[in-house]
Each structure stands twice: as C-alpha cells, then as structure tokens.
Amino acid sequence: MQLSCPAPILQHETVQMAHGAGGRLSQELTARVFMPHLGNPVLDQLDDQARFEAEPGRIAFTTDTYVVSPIFFPGGNIGDLAVNGTVNDLAVGGAVPRYLSAGFVLEEGLPLADLERIVASMAEAARKAGVVIACGDTKVVQKGQCDRIFINTSGVGFIPPGRDVSCRNLRPGDAVLLSGTIGDHGMAILTTREGLSFQSRIRSDSAALNGMIADLLVVAPNVHAMRDPTRGGVAATLNELANSSSVGIELDEAAIPVREEVRGAAELLGIDPLTVANEGKVLIIVPAAEADAALAAMRAHEHGKEAAIVGKVVEEHPGMVVMRTPFGSRRIVEMPLGEQLPRIC
Amino acid sequence: MQLSCPAPILQHETVQMAHGAGGRLSQELTARVFMPHLGNPVLDQLDDQARFEAEPGRIAFTTDTYVVSPIFFPGGNIGDLAVNGTVNDLAVGGAVPRYLSAGFVLEEGLPLADLERIVASMAEAARKAGVVIACGDTKVVQKGQCDRIFINTSGVGFIPPGRDVSCRNLRPGDAVLLSGTIGDHGMAILTTREGLSFQSRIRSDSAALNGMIADLLVVAPNVHAMRDPTRGGVAATLNELANSSSVGIELDEAAIPVREEVRGAAELLGIDPLTVANEGKVLIIVPAAEADAALAAMRAHEHGKEAAIVGKVVEEHPGMVVMRTPFGSRRIVEMPLGEQLPRIC
C-alpha cells in the first residue's frame, strides 16, 4: 500500500474506481477508512513494505483469501474472519502470530460504511489476537466484476526454537482432541444464505485460537500436530493428517460435540457436520500421556470450554479415518468431494 | 493451502466451484496445476504455513493483489506481474526478496489451461527473481462474481544490517534517477484493452528488479530511497516521496525516457505518461556523489539500459514536484486523481 495522508479531498459514500488507482482518491480512502482503525507504528512507516525485527526461532508464513458470502453473518463478518483465519493458520504450526498483511479487492459501489465496519472488525480482531496489521493494498474493480469485497490476509509469525508441530508427526497411540463443537461457522453461513429459521440461533465460531494454543503448549509441549478444520471440516482435516503421516485415525462419534441446532440444520440440508467448516476450532494430536493436560488447558480457555478427546491415532488402515458410531458400527469418514459448500470462508 | 497429493480423481477442463472447497477436487487442482510448476522444498512441507530460517537483518513484509484486465497482455500476464510486483516492493525497501505467498481467487469456468499458463509464468518469474513461492491458497467464486482471476502475492525478505532506505530519507541535493522508459506497462494494458493499433508494439515492462538493485547498492551503498512507480506512475510516486520527506523535487522533462509509441498512444488517449503505471522501473534517490556510480550500475544491467538522471531534490516547494520543460518553462506535476486507469495491475 502506498500510504500518505493528506487531508481528505473529496467525499463519497461508496467505493469509486479511482479509490484503487493509486492517486489522490486512494490516499483519501487510506486516510479516511483504513488508517483511523488500522494505524500502528509498523503500518505508519508508509513505505512499500513493512519492516520489523526477527524474533528467535524459525519464521512461519501463510496466506488465505476470504470470499465468504454473505460478508456479514451471525457471529462475525469477512473482516474478523480474515484476521482470525490467518492467525489460526500460524498458531496451528506452533508459531506465535505477529504480523498480518491485508489485501482488499473492492467492488465499485460498495458502501464505504460497510467497508469501514469490516475494517473496524479487522482492527478489533487483530487487537484481541495480539497481532499487528503491518502492510496492506487496495484494488477496486468495476461493478459486477467481484462480489462486494474479497480480503487476502497473509501472516508472519515465529516458531520458538525446538518446537516441531507438523502434519507428518502423527504416531499410533496419539490422542485426537477437538477444542469444541463442529460445524458452527459453515452452518451459520449456509442458514443465513438460505434464509432458514435456524439462522438466528446458529452463530459462526470465528475466533483467534493463538491464546488457547499457547496455554496448551505450556502443559503439553510434545503436541505432534495441530490443524484448524476449516474448509472441508473435520473430515477433510483428519483425512489429510492421516494421509500425511501414513497412519489411521479412529473417531468416536459420541464424543464429537455438535450443537443441537447445527445438527438439525445439517440434517435438513443433507450435510454431514463433519464436512462443515469451522473458524474457531482446532484439532490437537498429542501423545496419550499429555492428553489430559492438553484437554484441561483447552477447557480452561473461553474458546475450548467444550473440548473433548474425540479419537486416537492407530496403526491400522493407514491414510483412512474410521468412525465408531454410538451403535457400535464403524463407517469410513471420507475426504469430502467439496461441492456442497461454496464461499464458506 | 492445505496440500496433499492423491492421484487425480476427476478431470475437468475448467475451474469448478468444488476446486475451491477444500475437498478432493481442491487436492486435484493442487496436484495437477499448482505443484508441477510451483513445487519446491518449502511449499512441499504441505502444512498450513511455510517455515524457514530467519536471515540476518530486519524482516521486510509486503502485499499486493493483482486484478489486471486483460489477464494476458503483450509482455506478460497476471502471473508474472504478481511475482515481479511483490519482488520489486521488497527490493525497493533495500530488502533481499526471498519468499512469496500466492493467493488465488478463480472464477468458476476459467479454463484450466489459462490457469496453468499463468501458474507456469509465476514459476518462471520466481525462478528468474531467485524467490521461492512458499505458501498458497485458492478460492473459487461463482461465474460472474469475479473477473476470471485475481492473485494476491505477499512477500518476505531480509534487509541487511545497516541498510536504511526509506521514503522519508530524501535530502536537498540528492539526484533522482529513473531506470528506463516510462508508461510501457500501463499503455500496453490500455492499448490492448482498447484494441488500438499501437498494441502490437507496446509491451509491458514487467520485470523483477532485485538483481539490478543489488548491483546498484554495491556501488551506491548510501541510496536514500527507492520506489517502483506502479499505479499513479512517476507522478504519484514522486509526489509521495516529496511529501514524506518534506522536500521539493525538480524534474527535467527532456531527460525522462519515453518510447515513441508510448508517447503517441498516450497523446491519442489524452493521458500523461508520467501518471501511467510501470512494472519494471525504479526511481532511485541517491546523494549526488553516488549518482554516476548508481547510473553506471543500472545501465550495465538488462533492466536499466536506458537509465537516466531525471531530476534532483530541492529545498524549495516542499511536498511539490515541478517539471522543467525543454522550452524552459516550469509546470507542477500533480498527484493524479486516479480516474483514468482502472485495473492496470
């Protein structure tokens, strides 16, 4: 973002093409909408790149673009989602999230009030997560050439020396922990989109998990793997983990927390909650000896009150996730094909 | 990007909604289109975040989203543009660019052959610039909800200890150098879009400048500021620099290189080439004592053959850029308002 801050020159109520062209109107957008909320000593450097000191350990770097529709939904909006999602992608790698970038694509005609509300949510989410929006960029496209607003957030964090959390580290005997109920985010989006009556009661779980994960790593320092089950849900994430580590995973259906209204909406829509996106949940794979300590740490945190041990890593059926049902039968949890839930994040 | 690589399951010729949903088709897209071109030891880690060692010095971090239209144009496409632009944003801060992220928003129905051509260009541009695509993400939106493809690239580099290049460092007496002809990228896009006959002869200057800048810094280690004049062109960039450092800038119109066909097209379209985007040029502000050495270093490089000293920093008219014309008169070079050139990058 090329930032400098003259006084606002022109006033508009909606995003104009010129707001993205790098001239005076771009400066106005920056000065009027972005800097009042996002301004901080790193962003205020106003150069083409943010600069900061390295911290001990390896660097973690991640990126995600958010195209969720609708952009406002029960429990959040595209702005806090974009911050929380990237914070979580860093945290599940064992990194301490520190710096985020924000890249906006805006549709001509988007009300500036909507943009400001989104930017304010990003600032608030960043504050809660303890990260800094370090650099940004804004592009504007003609009406009809994007759907209101897309946001890319990339993130930089630091992995403390000696920490090794990876999707390739699962070992038979490990416990599989889940930090809370599944499907809340995806079902909040879908029921809002479909105008279902569940809508008012199902809220996105969008939240930054780095605080809870930091607490957990103190008492369970040998965590093997962490993953936030976003797109594709728990089903996709566990299949990927089983695949990457060439192990099997056995789930206990009765242990997996699902809110009643989420279960109801999912049944109505013919969707398996295991395949639905979460935005404030994490799967933790930990040696059995540390499972109870990890569980207690999660439950002590506001984002892990309903945490549970939901399964274990096994030697059998490598690459495959199998669920034990409450009736004693077993079914394969397949990698979802991915056609049911577009634009969930 | 959640990456793992089973064998392709289904074959499509165009992007499907499910390619962005985190399931099996997402994996197929990764395995079939992204990894063959972009695969490297960092990306191959297949975790939710890339991990790499810090290098000496401060960290530089930048982001840019590319929405250029058309996506293929003379001299490049949106893919190499996205790599070169972010490499340049790091390099002009004095950083050595090292790692890039790639965030794709794809429109349902985009031919996979087009995507593959773009991804191959990104890989080739990254190879030329000596950077690694370290992490990525792909989202798909319904037909009509984005214009074919948008790409965000964020970048991480390292600023060697002791280097201080900033838009606030300009001092009266400094020389202003430009690495070559102006307006090539923007006019290549505009003439292609308008179907003008100039189109065949005007090519984008899209190029990574980190190699030339590294050579230059060896012989001119006290460079005060560098900026790539992208959106808003040389006019916007110099106005920002003058503003940030509270100095005046005096330009010599006769010294500014402009290709004949660019000048002709600009005249036809009623556009000042000074306000047109460049994607392979850099403005260097350097103490007068190092100007000749810096110029020689640029001219010795393939991307700086037409480099020139185009002006100087003055104490007068702080915050203002003034151009001396070949006829001896002077005119103010204003910050462009920004309405003429949408979606140039």
Angstrom CA distances, B286 to B175, B224, B279, B306, stand at 5, 5, 21, 18
Please tell me the predicted confidence (pLDDT) of residue B4: 42
Q: Are residues A225 and A324 in the same domain?
A: yes
Q: pLDDT over 70 for what percent of chain A?
A: 95
Of A33, A47, A41, the C-alpha closest to A3 is: A47
Contacts of A145 in chain B (CB under 8 A): 146-147
- Report yes or no on B234 lying in a domain: yes
Distance CA A317, CA A242 (A): 9
With beta carbons less than 8 A apart as the criterion, state whether B165 and B225 touch: yes
- Report yes or no on A341 lying in a domain: no
With beta carbons less than 8 A apart as the criterion, state whether A335 and A234 touch: no
Please tell me the predicted confidence (pLDDT) of residue B21: 82
Instruction: Output DSSP code: residue A274.
Output: G
Please tell me the predicted confidence (pLDDT) of residue A47: 75
Instruction: Tell me which chain B residue has its CA closest to the CA of residue A341.
Output: B21
User: What average pLDDT does the segment A120-143 reach?
Assistant: 97
Other C-beta atoms within 10 Å of A155: how many?
A: 31
Task: Label the pairing between strands A58-66 and A149-159.
Answer: antiparallel
Q: How many domains does chain B contain in total?
A: 2
Q: Are residues B285 and B187 in the same domain?
A: yes
Q: What is the length of chain A?
A: 345
Other C-beta atoms within 10 Å of B201: how many?
A: 15
Angstrom CA distances, B265 to A101, A107, B85, B189, stand at 36, 29, 24, 11
Q: Closest to B54 (Cβ–Cβ): which among A54, A145, A150?
A: A54
Q: pLDDT over 90 for what percent of chain B?
A: 86
Distance CA B324, CA B328 (A): 6
Q: Kindly indicate the confidence band of residue A17, based on its pLDDT and cuts at 50, 70 and 90.
A: very high
Please tell me the predicted confidence (pLDDT) of residue B8: 44
Q: Closest to B150 (Cβ–Cβ): which among A27, A89, A105?
A: A105
Contacts of B156 in chain A (CB under 8 A): 59, 61, 156
Please tell me the predicted confidence (pLDDT) of residue A93: 96
pLDDT digits (tens, 9 = 90+) for B235-255: 999 999 999 999 999 999 999
Q: Are residues A90 and A26 in the same domain?
A: yes
pLDDT digits (tens, 9 = 90+) for A316-331: 999 999 999 999 999 9
- Report yes or no on B132 lying in a domain: yes
Q: Are residues A301 and A179 in the same domain?
A: yes
pLDDT digits (tens, 9 = 90+) for B246-304: 999 999 999 999 999 999 999 999 999 999 999 999 999 999 999 999 999 999 999 99
pLDDT digits (tens, 9 = 90+) for B28-51: 899 999 999 999 988 887 677 899
pLDDT digits (tens, 9 = 90+) for B119-174: 999 999 999 999 999 999 999 999 999 999 999 999 999 999 999 999 999 999 99
The pair of structure tokens assigned to B205 is 């200057």
Contacts of A243 in chain B (CB under 8 A): 4, 6
Distance CA A59, CA A249 (A): 30
Please tell me the predicted confidence (pLDDT) of residue A198: 64
Distance CA B226, CA B92 (A): 5
Q: Are residues B151 and B285 in the same domain?
A: no
Q: Closest to A59 (Cβ–Cβ): which among B52, B105, B337?
A: B52
Q: Closest to B61 (Cβ–Cβ): which among A27, A50, A90?
A: A50
Contacts of B89 in chain A (CB under 8 A): 48-49
Q: Beginning with the edge strand found earlier in the chain, give each strand of the sheet holding B50-52 in spatial order.
A: A132-141, A96-107, A149-159, A58-66, B50-52
Count chain A–chain B contacts defined by CB atoms under 8 A.
301
With beta carbons less than 8 A apart as the criterion, state whether A119 and A153 touch: no
Which of B17, B28, B43, B62 to probe the A interface (max A CBs under 10 A)? B62
- Report yes or no on B79 lying in a domain: yes
For chain B, what is the mean pLDDT?
93
Please tell me the predicted confidence (pLDDT) of residue A161: 94
- Report yes or no on B164 lying in a domain: no
Last residue of a domain, one of A159, A186, A208: A159
Of A332, A47, A284, the C-alpha closest to B245 is: A47
Burial class (CB in 10 A: 0-12, 13-18, 19+), B199: buried
Contacts of A96 in chain B (CB under 8 A): none
Task: Label the pairing between strands A225-227 and A308-314.
Answer: unpaired
- Report yes or no on A281 lying in a domain: yes
Instruction: Tell me which chain B residue has its CA closest to the CA of residue A10.
Output: B337
Amino acid at the residue A172: P
Q: Are residues B102 and B201 in the same domain?
A: no
Quickly list H helices, B73-208: 78-91, 112-129, 184-194
Question: What CATH number is associated with residue A117?
Answer: 3.30.1330.10
The pair of structure tokens assigned to B185 is 């990228």
Q: Kindly indicate the confidence band of residue A339, based on its pLDDT and cuts at 50, 70 and 90.
A: low
Contacts of A104 in chain B (CB under 8 A): 65
With beta carbons less than 8 A apart as the criterion, state whether A157 and A94 touch: no
Please tell me the predicted confidence (pLDDT) of residue A4: 42
Other C-beta atoms within 10 Å of A54: how many?
A: 17
The pair of structure tokens assigned to B8 is 């392709």
Please tell me the predicted confidence (pLDDT) of residue B9: 44
The pair of structure tokens assigned to A32 is 């009027």
The pair of structure tokens assigned to B190 is 């505009």
Please tell me the predicted confidence (pLDDT) of residue A341: 79
Q: Are residues B182 and B266 in the same domain?
A: yes
Cis amide bond preceding A70, omega within 30: yes
User: What average pLDDT does the segment A93-114 reach?
Assistant: 97
Please tell me the predicted confidence (pLDDT) of residue A9: 44
Q: Are residues A118 and A146 in the same domain?
A: yes
User: Each residue of B114-135: b (16+ CB within 10 Å) or e?
Assistant: bbbebbbbbbebbebbebbbbb
User: What average pLDDT does the segment A167-172 reach?
Assistant: 96
The pair of structure tokens assigned to B276 is 């047109």
Distance CA A170, CA A244 (A): 9
For B234, phi then psi, to 5°, come to -60, -35
Three-state secondary-structure class, residue B269 = helix
pLDDT digits (tens, 9 = 90+) for B183-233: 999 999 999 988 877 666 899 999 999 999 999 999 999 999 999 999 999
Q: Are residues B306 and B187 in the same domain?
A: yes
- Report yes or no on B10 lying in a domain: no
Angstrom CA distances, B244 to A2, B74, B169, B170, B248, stand at 11, 35, 8, 9, 11
Residues 6+ away with beta carbon under 8 Å from A72: A78, A114, A117
pLDDT above 70 (res A165): yes
Shortest alpha-carbon distance between residue B270 and chain A (Å): 17
Amino acid at the residue A205: D
Our CA angle for B149, B150, B153, nearest 5°, is 135
Please tell me the predicted confidence (pLDDT) of residue A5: 38
Distance CA A153, CA A99 (A): 10
Please tell me the predicted confidence (pLDDT) of residue B2: 42
For residue B214, what are the domain limits? 175-333
- Report yes or no on B1 lying in a domain: no
Which of B44, B81, B133, B152 to probe the A interface (max A CBs under 10 A)? B152
Q: Are residues A29 and A139 in the same domain?
A: yes
Q: Closest to B65 (Cβ–Cβ): which among A17, A58, A152?
A: A152
pLDDT above 50 (res B7): no
Other C-beta atoms within 10 Å of B31: how many?
A: 18
Half-sphere exposure (CA, 13 Å, Cβ side) for A134? 25
Shortest alpha-carbon distance between residue B336 and chain A (Å): 5
Handedness of CA B34, B35, B37, B41 (dihedral sign): positive
Q: Are residues A122 and A214 in the same domain?
A: no
For B289, phi then psi, to 5°, come to -65, -25
Q: Are residues A126 and A192 in the same domain?
A: no
Question: What CATH number is associated with residue B192?
Answer: 3.90.650.10
pLDDT above 80 (res A212): yes
Four-point Cα dihedral B102, B69, B19, B46, nearest 10: -10
With beta carbons less than 8 A apart as the criterion, state whether B81 and B124 touch: no
